[in-house]
């Protein structure tokens, strides 16, 4: 799940530093950061009666980690290293939401438009793919078989997967790749800037998508990818692989935008990362479509419950966490993803996907009227 921790110390935040148990790399408390970070100001010092000026009070910047122990900073392995990263806030925080809002709407439209065109191209090439498959089978029958080869074992495993599992394999591979990038020390500044989402950061739009593929903790990534793999067959059978990818990518951006709004509204800024928002959309969509389906917890398979009840419990927990200010998870992103999944299955599929015909028609006319390679036209 997307993780958030906070350090409420330094710069007048009040109280000792604290955060989630076992967490490290606490974010910098910026809601009451020094004015030096917010813009220029004039400092006036009143001269005392004895003719000496009062020395300006020095403000020591605090690193956004868990605090100081014996003069050294500590950080756990669950959170990204943000101790040297400063986040700049605007005197008009609502303005920080304008670009993310435009990016969310634009990216969502592009995602569904690309998915519609992709589906058109897939259907158009299906006949050619059929003949290619027949030709490949004929060539395999002539070529000598390599018994026990590694490639043959991989192909055999791949053919046993469902369409949904094949579709999410690329997503899982991307998450593993980004997880490995977190292990490169020279890249950590860039990773914090572009692969964690924070409305107080200078980079606002690209992290809304990139943070969906970002995990700093192995346990965090493993849990999210397991849930995605478990629901992949159901969601792809409901939506198809093209529509599923559009929903998944859009859900990552939309859930991050909801997180932005929550952070600006509460003034609790800090970086978030993880695929939880998008995965909550997948889970909510399946549970809404199949409310009577039976689910179980991996470590407690003897206890089962309906998908509808599970969805209600998750929404209730995230709503309470957002209202009460629980900080271990980004509950706003979870709630935003779940609500988007419910809305899309209930209304969005009819409003968006079933109205893609005009776009596909325009694309078809562009393809049929495009000149051939030899200079002619179709």
Pick the catalytic residue from 72, 276, 349, 370: 276
Q: Find, among 158, 260, 164, 252, the residue nearest to 213 by Cα.
A: 252
Cβ–Cβ under 8 Å, residues 87 and 28:
yes
Q: Which residues pair with 371 in a beta bridge?
A: 377
How far apart CA 189 and CA 205 sit, in angstroms, is 17
Q: Output DSSP code: residue 294.
A: E
Provide CB contacts within 8 A for 243, sequence distance 6+.
112, 115, 119, 349, 353
Is 334 among the catalytic positions? yes
- Closest C-alpha to 200, from 251, 260, 112: 260
Distance CA 12, CA 8 (A): 9
- The CA–CA distances, whole Å, from 9 to 18, 53, 59 equal 8, 29, 12
Given the residues 114, 334, 349, 370, the one annotated as active site: 334
Contact between residue 337 and residue 278 where contact means Cβ atoms under 8 Å apart = yes
Q: Which residues contact 45 (CB under 8 A, 6 or more apart)?
A: 53, 54, 56
DSSP state of 73: E
Contact status, residue 116 vs residue 280, Cβ threshold 8 Å: no
Q: Identify the three-state secondary structure at position 324.
A: helix
The dihedrals phi and psi of 297, each to the nearest 5 degrees, come to -85, 140
CA atoms within a 13 Å half-sphere pointing along the CA-CB vector of 98: 5
Q: Which residues are annotated as catalytic?
A: 276, 334
């Amino acid at each position: 799940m997307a993780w958030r921790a906070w350090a409420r110390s330094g710069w007048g935040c009040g109280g000792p530093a604290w955060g989630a148990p076992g967490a490290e790399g606490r974010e910098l408390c910026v809601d009451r950061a020094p004015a030096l970070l917010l813009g220029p100001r004039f400092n006036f010092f009143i001269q005392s009666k004895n003719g000496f000026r009062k020395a300006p009070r020095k403000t020591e910047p605090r690193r956004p980690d868990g605090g100081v122990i014996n003069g050294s900073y500590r950080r756990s392995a669950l959170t990204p290293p943000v101790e040297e990263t400063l986040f700049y806030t605007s005197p008009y925080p609502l303005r920080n939401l304008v670009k993310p809002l435009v990016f969310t709407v634009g990216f969502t439209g592009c995602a569904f438009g690309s998915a519609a065109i992709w589906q058109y191209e897939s259907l158009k090439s299906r006949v050619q793919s059929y003949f290619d498959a027949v030709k490949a089978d004929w060539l395999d029958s002539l070529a000598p078989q390599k018994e026990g080869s590694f490639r043959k074992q991989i192909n055999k495993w791949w053919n046993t997967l469902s369409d949904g599992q094949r579709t999410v394999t690329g997503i899982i591979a991307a998450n593993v790749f980004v997880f490995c990038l977190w292990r490169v020390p020279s890249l950590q500044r860039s990773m914090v800037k572009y692969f964690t989402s924070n409305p107080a950061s200078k980079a606002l739009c690209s992290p809304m998508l990139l943070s969906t593929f970002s995990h700093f903790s192995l346990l965090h990534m493993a849990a999210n990818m397991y849930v995605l793999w478990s629901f992949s067959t159901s969601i792809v059978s409901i939506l198809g692989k093209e529509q599923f990818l559009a929903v998944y990518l859009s859900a990552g951006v939309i859930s991050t935008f909801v997180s932005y709004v929550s952070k600006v509204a509460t003034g609790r800024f800090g970086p978030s990362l993880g695929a939880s928002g998008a995965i909550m959309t997948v889970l909510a969509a399946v549970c809404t479509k199949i409310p009577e389906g039976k689910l179980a917890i991996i470590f407690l398979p003897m206890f089962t419950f309906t998908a509808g009840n599970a969805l209600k419990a998750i929404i209730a927990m995230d709503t309470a966490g957002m209202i009460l200010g629980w900080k271990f998870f980004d509950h706003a992103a979870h709630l935003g993803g779940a609500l988007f999944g419910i809305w899309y299955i209930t209304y969005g599929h009819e409003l968006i996907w079933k109205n893609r015909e005009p776009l596909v028609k325009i694309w078809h006319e562009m393809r049929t009227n495009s000149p051939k390679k030899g200079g002619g036209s179709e």
